[in-house]
Structure 1
């Protein structure tokens, strides 16, 4: 019993084996690390890629892949067999010949260990960089498909105009048509890349069973204490959210409007009009597109500012223990490891572990979906 309590207060997940009312054995359960493998496999599925796990059945660790290859020193042979079958292989690991043999080898950095010098890319151990790479592959495939369609449309238009004899297709006009299509394809690539950069990756799932841990043990795992975080530590854990200048936000809003999916089609029409000699029509279309982008961008900027002001007015404040003193802060200022105090009528502002309670009762109807309060 004493040993179990000691392990629990140190942050371990402890299971006990009892015979009747007598504790006869204590087992410490190893909690899986938050490494993001499940999210990486899901990203590969979204990218329509096959997932091959190195290490055979012993190395699967409960993860579902499309195929298995040998692990260790023989992993490179498995990679070469996949390449011989016509596959392009991206290998992710901490080192070994597998990374050198793959078409793209991504080495994961480990604290205190040398980097994987045979890798083509180096990434963090949390696999976020690998997930970004897969997301970039999806975006690149999308941009490539759309660029091919633009090139095909330009070639079809040029062939039609030339065959019909509507406008003489001299060398200058043919080059204008080709360059316009190339410009549209590059602009579309910028749009796809901008959308990718603006989309944040969801954090990996935390497998820690916080509800099963001892309250003191939960604080230990969070590197916190019952007296709360210090002001300096809370500032260090806070996510950096720089305030953007007004002109920069306005520029982003206009760019978002200018890079919507309909603009490339309108720009293509303007380019084709210019290619066949109708410069007035091309100028009118380009002017309308530009004016619409500016007008829509200004409206989006104003709406965004109004929503931000409304959110600030409706911001929920919560009592938090910082440096041994209770403070009232906004919910957005909470960080991992904060100690909160909740009173009757308060809304639980985040995922929390209950440390202490007195006459506690909660309404769980928002979780169960019932129309009446569900008391627990």
Structure 2
């Protein structure tokens, strides 16, 4: 643009690599070269001012010729990277959003939901999600406006039936559920002794609050405690010593098991899967119940960090399992009998390999060890 308006200007661009990835970018690159813009492969290492001319002198190592060069110019324009603004963390905590390792907001799905956040009703536009040029910013803003318009014009929204409900008589107003909820969907008033309350429209039903509640004051609609415990009892009713009990999250590890199956990958046939919406739903009492019913090994599996369908609920899974490991060691139970793995929906091979490793662990557990574990847990009261 400068060269077009000021043909007499001598423009030099110092670069390390050039990627003309966008629509028409390659044409702009060639056009600028045709206008006389010089592209020099090298990165300026020092900029100093000439005391006589007051111009700037750039010291550059030309990586194409391996020679040190000096260029005297009247003006230097630095091409800087884009980083998120400083208040992005405050907004993240307020709206329960996810961020990438670079600090930008993370979309719900890079291909299927590129403008949606994991929190329902929040959409991204422009550089909040990643660095963009004007064209991409306008495109994303248009998509976000269309998504918001669809919600606002409907008059009402349909929420999933899988949500949490607080049993107020059991609530001790400890605040744990408020802290662990990825969506800030739970509120309470400790000062006025008002029990926790779930905003149904904001709840996505991960079940982390129910798993963390110390008084069992949270009831999950669907995937209830009695349903999951019933599955544990049924799966371990006959020949429990021969089985691998697996808790698999609906979105990743359970789908990974399906992918292993349709890919015709071989893994032990004695694996028994219990599906939960999220690994965060796996309560410690489920794990202790499995060992009490004679399970030689138990696997808790979920999404990789950063890919959790429920923002960061799997972080609480990790903390919970680590606490159980410590207690197992304290009670004299081998902690390695409880495994924690992150498996994506596309990692059928990984699921198969994990199951083979679990089978090796299972084969190493003796009937005497299983019986001792059962007695220890019964003595401790089941948890």
| TM class by smaller structure | under 0.3
Higher relative contact order (CA 8 A, sep 6+): 1
TM-score, structure 1 as length reference: 0.21
TM-score, structure 2 as length reference: 0.21
Greater share of strand = 2
